[in-house]
Amino acid sequence: MTGRPRALITGVTGQDGSYLAELLIAKGYEVHAVIRRSSTFSTGRVEHLYQDVHEEGRALNLHYGDLLDTGSLVSVLGKVEPDEVYNLGAQSHVAVSFQMPEFTADAVAFGTMRLLEAIRQTGRPVRFYQAGSSEMFGKVESPLQNEDTRFHPRSPYAIAKVFAHQMAVFHREAYGMYCANGILFNHESPRRGEVFVTRKITQAVARIAAGRQDHLYLGNLKAKRDWGYAPEYVEAMWRILQQPEPDDFVIATGETHSVEEFAALAFASVGRRWQEHVRYDPRYERPAEVDLLQGDASKAERVLRWKARTTFADLARIMVAADLRAEGLDPDSVMRHD
Ligand code: NAP
Ligand code: F7E
């Protein structure tokens, strides 16, 4: 063990986990993470960190474990003795949660409870971050959502996240544990999973530009989301755990845009019209939709000194450029600059 602060991350192989690991390593933390066993490599987003060995050891230390397996959580907590735990592990796809409600609840709701209970039983003063979601607001009760807005979840995923959120609040109130909730609105990046709508669009735009694909099938284009840039959002997670008292924070840009607007920008960035490539597929509709999300992050701005910086248009361009590069194309020659 070193004298550096120690962090433990669940969900490190995902979009946010990989950016958070980078951030904490840059801040001098000893970073540990839980990974699940899988039949193929799942560590693509963190390979560069895992392979980075310096005099104090590996930049990123990986431990097998699962939010479904209490014993593995107890064991890793005992081994690592973390100062901060970031619980990002989840079955995070809303549409999939309608098809796998029990598995989703097990990982997201019960997984969080297992981890909180395992931390409680260590008796150590651990700071706990819970990855809450704007999906918890669901059928929104006010045009702008903040920490006081009532939850009205519209999917098994969102219901499980409400349970996890309330479990964190409960452990704070009942046992005096340091448990903080981030309520993060959608955030995207070139590392976003390919099944989420923004990445699905930017990857298709790049493939169409490369002549490898003609059409893209999407569901509801009218849904509106508050979309930010993931690297900025993991900075907010860290700031949340640096507060003297545990608290809950909405993290958002304050703007809302439709899926159609995102598609229009992404296609326009390579000089194409989305209408010529996007086709409707009802399979991507959900049994219950969240029509509109728009966050009010004024508390985060005031208390955490955090504010989203990357604009919606820049986000689309960053993602298209990265997917063009992955297709072997030079964004400078393919993308329009008007
Ligand atoms: P993501 O890319 O889907 O990553 C999810 C991570 O959770 C992966 O590392 C995955 O591991 C891991 N995981 C899944 N089931 C697990 C289990 N049973 N035990 C341990 N780990 C498990 O998600 P993300 O976009 O980075 O989001 C991070 C967290 O923030 C999630 O909790 C998500 O629900 C929440 N959130 C995301 C957003 C957003 O817009 N991105 C907004 C609000 C909240 P494998 O690689 O092995 O599958
Ligand atoms: O859908 C519509 C879909 O899957 C956004 C997760 O990170 O953010 C994410 O959840 C919208 C929805 O994200 C397709 O109906 C249309 O209205 O990209 P998404 P999400 O459901 O908002 C929240 C904050 C989280 O917490 C979650 O973990 O886009 N949509 N056509 C489509 N969506 C997908 N995936 N695929 C389509 O073809």
Q: Is the dihedral of CA 90, 94, 96, 98 positive or negative?
A: positive
Q: What is the pLDDT of residue 54?
A: 72
Q: What is the pLDDT of residue 337?
A: 82
State which of 34, 92, 199 you would mutate to test the pocket of ligand 1, scoring each by most atoms of that ligand within 8 A of its C-beta: 92
* Tokens found for residue 311: 């604009």
Q: What is the pLDDT of residues 51-67, one digit of tens each?
A: 777 767 778 999 999 99
Distance 267 CA to ligand 1 centre (A): 28
Give the whole-angstrom CA distance, residue 174 versus residue 183: 21
Q: Which domains does the chain have, with CATH numbers?
A: 6-188+228-251 (3.40.50.720), 197-225+255-291+311-334 (3.90.25.10)
Give the whole-angstrom CA distance, residue 306 versus residue 270: 32
Q: What is the pLDDT of residue 147?
A: 98
* 19: annotated active-site residue: no
Distance 235 CA to ligand 2 centre (A): 23
Distance 319 CA to ligand 2 centre (A): 16
Q: Which residues does a 6 A CB cutoff place in the pocket of ligand 1?
A: 10-17, 34, 36, 38, 42, 66-68, 88-92, 107, 111, 131, 133, 184, 186-187, 193
Kindly report the backbone phi and psi dihedral angles of residue 118, in degrees, each rounded to the nearest multiple of 5, phi listed first.
Answer: -65, -40
Q: What is the pLDDT of residues 252-284, one digit of tens each?
A: 999 999 999 999 999 999 999 999 999 999 999
Query: Which ligand has the minimum distance to the alpha carbon of residue 197?
Result: 2
Distance 100 CA to ligand 2 centre (A): 16
Residue nearest to atom 21 of ligand 1 (CA): 89
Query: Which ligand has the minimum distance to the alpha carbon of residue 86?
Result: 1
Task: Report yes or no on whether pTM surpasses 0.95.
Answer: yes
* 157: annotated active-site residue: yes
Q: What is the pLDDT of residue 208?
A: 98
* 133: annotated active-site residue: yes
Q: What is the pLDDT of residue 57?
A: 73
DSSP string of 221-263, one letter each residue? SS-EE--EEHHHHHHHHHHHHTSSS--EEEE--S--EEHHHHH
* Tokens found for residue 70: 């209490």
> What CA–CA distances, in Å, run from 304 to 241, 299, 308?
10, 8, 12
Atom of ligand 2 nearest to the CA of 223: 17
Distance of CA 209 to the CA centre of its chain: 28
Residue 338 neighbours by CB distance under 10 Å:
4
Do residues 25 and 59 lie in contact, with contact meaning Cβ atoms separated by under 8 Å?
Answer: yes
Distance 88 CA to ligand 1 centre (A): 5
Q: Which residues does a 6 A CB cutoff place in the pocket of ligand 2?
A: 92, 94-95, 133-135, 185-186, 195-197, 200, 218-220, 223, 225, 259, 284, 286, 289
Query: Which ligand has the minimum distance to the alpha carbon of residue 16?
Result: 1
Q: What is the pLDDT of residue 2?
A: 65
State which of 259, 278, 292 you would mutate to test the pocket of ligand 2, scoring each by most atoms of that ligand within 8 A of its C-beta: 259
Q: What is the pLDDT of residue 52?
A: 72
* Tokens found for residue 52: 């980075």
Pairing relationship of beta strands 84-87 and 6-10 according to DSSP bridges: parallel
Q: 22, 84, 135, 261: which is the annotated catalytic residue?
A: 135
**Which stretches of the chain score pLDDT less than 70?**
1-2, 55
Give the whole-angstrom CA distance, residue 8 versus residue 23: 13
Give the whole-angstrom CA distance, residue 110 versus residue 128: 16
Distance 197 CA to ligand 2 centre (A): 6
Q: 72, 133, 155, 269: which is the annotated catalytic residue?
A: 133
Q: What is the pLDDT of residue 50?
A: 83
Residue nearest to atom 5 of ligand 1 (CA): 14
